[in-house]
Amino acid sequence: MNIEDWKSQIKRGTLDFCILLLIKQRPYYGYEIIGMLEQYPIVAAKENTIYPLLRRLLKEEYISSSWQEGTEGLPPRKYYTLTEKGDEYLNAMSLEWDNLLKAISEIKGELDYG
């Protein structure tokens, strides 16, 4: 496995988490989510990844969606918001993420000084 394969696995395992973290802050529409994630190359993803993921999160009832009229002649946009179930899921993910970071930090410390 090369570093690009490893980075791809990281992205696959964390995109749900990143999207839910964004949506918890405020409602986002799909293309806006893509733009936000592009700021962070390790989790940047294209439409063909993000939209199916959003559909799955909708189906699993972690997020809900609503159409809002566009301004200045722009078409309506579908905005995504976090549901109560999604908030519970995100809290559980955050706990596991913190556990992972702690474990990695401890392992790195042991390897660096052991």
Per-residue pLDDT for 112 more than 80?
no
Residue 110: pLDDT band by 50, 70, 90 thresholds? low
Q: Look at residue 113 and tell me whether its pLDDT is greater than 70.
A: no
pLDDT of residue 111: 54
pLDDT tens digits for range 3-62: 999 888 998 889 999 999 999 999 999 999 999 999 999 999 999 999 999 999 999 999
Q: How far is CA 42 from the centre of its chain?
A: 12
Nearest to 64 by CA among 84, 49, 93: 84
pLDDT, position 1: 78
pLDDT in tens, 86-95: 999 999 999 9
Q: Is the dihedral of CA 84, 8, 105, 33 positive or negative?
A: negative
71 pLDDT tier (thresholds 50, 70, 90): confident
> How many whole angstroms separate alpha carbon 69 and alpha carbon 67?
7
